[in-house]
């Protein structure tokens, strides 16, 4: 298609978008709400899947040492841990090393906690011989003196999966409903555009415009509606995810796991939202064109 | 060339055209006359594939209208210029824009559009009205804009359904002059009309339809038949 034709279609589609005013606004809002939910849902599910993978393959038990434990007591603890039958290795990691790891994973924001401000514990990282033994090792370690906590993945996994299963079900239902509302609203604005341009369409047909030519502006109007609807959720989710990521980073690292880091992950979600937005718009436009733009 | 072979058109059970056989060579000027309800407009609509016949074959240039797929219709219509009694101009576009519209939607280049539209507007004596809107024009001027739009893409056939129906006799005469000029440039002109003064003063081939059948096809006819009926 030559440039001047594309330009004409784009101009045309923006004109009707503007002319439809509040109808367009309602359609854009519906898309925005739908995509917001989709974005949150995606961020949640993808991270949960990531975590459960990390957890399932994890043979580690992280034994958090109480603050104020002396070096001698620590050595005694290490020996006891190493004596357990299911334990393969015991490695010491000081609070400062732990912090470095956090900073490495989550960026400089955590550098602020250096020195006395460091909220983390010294840790013995135990490797069990097999993933199935982590529960027994953690339980035994918890009984030993100077142990603040013994964390391992398995115990959280089950709960996590239950919660996620429920969320997935409800969110899918709600999203489907919102998707339909969004498509309906878009198809309705396109219907109005088609009606208001009936005379023009009649003349176009009379002088030999192809169907494709007649359809393009309506199709584009739908697509813009979807794209505009995607912009707000993208911005909000990008900001929101950065915020959640920084807030929760310390917790997750204490367990030895990481959330998906924002850069690539958010580009993926943004891409999905843009694509779904355009698809919703195209679907809405197509529905109305099928019904009201009969050849 | 236009050719109707045994063409009938029914709406539900009602037969509106029956066994029409008609051939029009490139460059002819043909009046379609007949009483109201005879089927003139139906015949015109068959020509630009607004309607399909119930029976028979219609050829327009290289197109077999009865076999043509809907996707082909635009390409048929690019070879036709169509003019109506009610002009069908777009009220929110200026004279220039209304004429340019026919070239825009058939994807012509902007530079060509500007040049050709000005040329046609000049031919039609509309150049100085080009920034006006249809509501700011007389009926005759509006019809001239509609004709300009119909011929701007240089169609080989110009079809008009009562183009002077809404115009006073003097204005109508001016419109006829324009159709004759178009005819002289080599286009086929098919015009359904009730305007007998015009048909009588500017004699061309006359095809008379009564109750859906061709009752007369005369090379240089008058509006009312004066000779011996066969
Ligand atoms: N879509 C339609 N459905 C049913 N009947 C129709 C339809 N279109 C036209 N007719 C009928 O076909 C007949 C011919 O109509 P047509 O419009 O072709 O007549 P006409 O010769 O153009 O008349 P006029 O001179 O008044 O314009 C009329 O009786 C009309 O009622
Ligand atoms: Mg008629």
Q: From the CA of A140, how far away is ligand 1's center (Å)?
A: 97
Candidates A145, A134, A162; CA nearest to A62 is A134
Do A166 and A266 have their domain in common? Answer: yes
Question: Which residue in B61, B74, B116 has the most chain A C-beta atoms within 10 A of its own C-beta, making it the best mutation to test that interface?
Answer: B74
The closest CB to that of A207, out of B71, B106, B110, belongs to B106
Report the greatest alpha carbon distance in chain A.
Answer: 95
Do A126 and A198 have their domain in common? Answer: no
Q: Which chain B residues are within 8 Å of A4, Cβ to Cβ? A: 109-110
pLDDT at A167 over 80: no
**What does the pLDDT look like over B149-169, one tens digit per residue?**
999 999 999 999 999 998 998
Query: What span, in angstroms and rounded, lies between the C-alpha atoms of B140 and B83?
Result: 13
Q: Within a 10 A sphere around the Cβ of A49, how many other Cβ atoms?
A: 12
Question: How high is the mean pLDDT of chain B?
Answer: 94
Q: What is the ipTM of this complex?
A: 0.90
Cβ pair B85, B108 in contact under 8 A: no
Residue A127 sits in a domain whose CATH number is 3.30.70.3040
Candidates B75, B130, B128; CA nearest to B98 is B130
Mean pLDDT calculated for residue range A118-141:
84
Count of residues in chain B? 230
Which residues form the pocket of ligand 1, taking CB atoms under 6 Å from any ligand atom? B 11, 14, 16, 34, 36-42
**Phi and psi torsions of B48, nearest 5°:** -105, 20
Mean pLDDT calculated for residue range A185-198:
86
How much is the pLDDT for A133? 81
Question: How high is the mean pLDDT of chain A?
Answer: 84
Q: Which chain A residues are within 8 Å of B51, Cβ to Cβ? A: none
Architecture of the B25-52+60-79+156-222 domain:
3-Layer(aba) Sandwich (3.40)
Place A114 in a pLDDT band, splitting at 50, 70 and 90: low
* Range in A258-272, B30-44, B97-111 with the lowest mean pLDDT: A258-272
pLDDT at A108 over 80: no
- Domain limit, last residue, from A135, A152, A169: A152
Cβ pair B88, A202 in contact under 8 A: yes
> Which residues constitute the domain of residue A112?
60-152
Given the CA of residue B11, which atom of ligand 1 is nearest to it?
Answer: 4
- Domain limit, last residue, from A152, A183, A198: A152
pLDDT at B230 over 50: no
User: In chain A, how many domains are there?
Assistant: 2
Residue window 3-22, chain A: list those with CB within 8 Å of chain B. Answer: 4-5, 8
pLDDT at A134 over 70: yes
Do A193 and A261 have their domain in common? Answer: yes
Here the tokens at position A53 are 């993978």
**Is B88 an interface residue toward A (CB < 8 Å)?**
yes
Cβ pair B6, B56 in contact under 8 A: yes
Query: What span, in angstroms and rounded, lies between the C-alpha atoms of B171 and B148?
Result: 16
Do A198 and A86 have their domain in common? Answer: no
SS3 of A119, please? coil
Q: Which chain A residues are within 8 Å of B75, Cβ to Cβ? A: 208
**What does the pLDDT look like over B186-214, one tens digit per residue?**
999 999 999 988 899 999 999 999 999 99
Candidates B229, B164, B230, B174; CA nearest to B196 is B164
User: Domain locations in chain B?
Assistant: 25-52+60-79+156-222, 90-154
Q: Which residue of B has its CA nearest to A213?
A: B105
Using only the alpha carbons of chain B, give its radius of gyration: 18
The closest CB to that of A206, out of B75, B82, B109, belongs to B82
Query: What span, in angstroms and rounded, lies between the C-alpha atoms of B110 and A206?
Result: 20
Q: Where are the alpha helices (DSSP H) in chain A?
A: 3-19, 21-56, 71-83, 95-106, 134-143, 154-196, 198-207, 211-255, 262-292
Query: What span, in angstroms and rounded, lies between the C-alpha atoms of A207 and A147?
Result: 85
Candidates A50, A59, A259, A258; CA nearest to A154 is A59
Mean pLDDT calculated for residue range A207-216:
92
Do A225 and A103 have their domain in common? Answer: no
Place A117 in a pLDDT band, splitting at 50, 70 and 90: confident
- Domain limit, last residue, from A152, A170, A200: A152
């Amino acid at each position: 298609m030559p440039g001047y034709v594309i330009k004409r279609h784009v101009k045309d589609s923006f004109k009707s978008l503007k002319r439809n005013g509040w109808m367009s606004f309602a359609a854009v809002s519906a898309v925005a709400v739908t995509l917001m939910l989709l974005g949150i849902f995606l961020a949640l599910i993808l991270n949960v899947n990531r975590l459960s993978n990390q957890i399932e393959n994890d043979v580690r038990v992280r034994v958090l040492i109480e603050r104020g434990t002396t070096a001698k007591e620590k050595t005694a603890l290490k020996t006891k841990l190493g004596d357990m039958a299911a334990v393969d290795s015991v490695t010491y990691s000081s609070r400062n090393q732990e912090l470095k790891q956090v900073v490495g994973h989550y960026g400089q924001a955590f550098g602020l906690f250096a020195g006395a401000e460091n909220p983390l514990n010294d840790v013995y990282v135990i490797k069990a011989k097999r993933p199935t033994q982590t529960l027994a090792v953690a339980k035994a370690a918890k009984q030993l003196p100077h142990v603040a906590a013994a964390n391992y993945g398995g115990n959280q996994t089950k709960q996590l999966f239950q919660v996620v299963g429920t969320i997935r079900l409800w969110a899918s239902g709600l999203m489907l409903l919102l998707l339909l509302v969004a498509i309906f609203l878009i198809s309705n604005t396109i219907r109005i555009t088609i009606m208001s341009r009936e005379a023009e369409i009649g003349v176009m047909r009379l002088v030999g415009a192809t169907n494709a030519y007649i359809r393009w502006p309506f199709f584009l109007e739908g697509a813009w509606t979807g794209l505009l609807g995607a912009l707000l959720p993208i911005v909000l989710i990008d900001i929101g995810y950065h915020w959640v990521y920084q807030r929760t980073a310390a917790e997750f690292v204490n367990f030895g796991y990481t959330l998906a880091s924002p850069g690539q992950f958010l580009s993926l979600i943004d891409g999905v939202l843009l694509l779904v937005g355009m698809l919703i718009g195209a679907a809405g436009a197509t529905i109305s064109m099928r019904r009201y733009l009969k050849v | 060339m236009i050719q109707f072979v045994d063409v009938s058109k029914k709406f539900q059970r009602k037969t509106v055209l029956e066994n029409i056989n008609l051939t029009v060579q490139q460059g002819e000027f043909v009046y379609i006359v007949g009483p109201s309800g005879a089927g003139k407009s139906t015949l015109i609509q068959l020509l630009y594939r607004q309607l399909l016949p119930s029976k028979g074959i219609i050829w327009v240039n290289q197109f077999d209208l009865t076999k043509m797929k809907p996707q082909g219709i635009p390409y048929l219509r690019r070879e036709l210029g169509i003019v109506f009694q009610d002009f069908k101009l777009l009220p929110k576009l200026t004279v220039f824009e209304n004429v340019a519209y026919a070239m825009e939607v058939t994807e012509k280049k902007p530079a060509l559009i500007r040049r050709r539209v000005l040329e046609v507007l000049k031919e039609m004596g509309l150049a100085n009205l080009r920034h006006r809107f249809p509501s700011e024009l007389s009926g005759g001027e509006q019809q001239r804009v509609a004709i300009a739009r119909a011929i701007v893409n240089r169609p080989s056939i110009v079809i008009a359904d009562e183009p002077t129906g809404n115009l006073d006799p003097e204005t109508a005469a001016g419109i006829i002059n324009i159709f004759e000029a178009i005819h002289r440039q080599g286009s086929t002109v098919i015009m359904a009309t009730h305007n007998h003064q015009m048909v009588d003063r500017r004699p061309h081939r006359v095809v008379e339809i009564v109750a859906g059948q061709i009752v007369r096809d005369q090379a240089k006819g008058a509006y009312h038949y004066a000779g011996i009926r066969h």
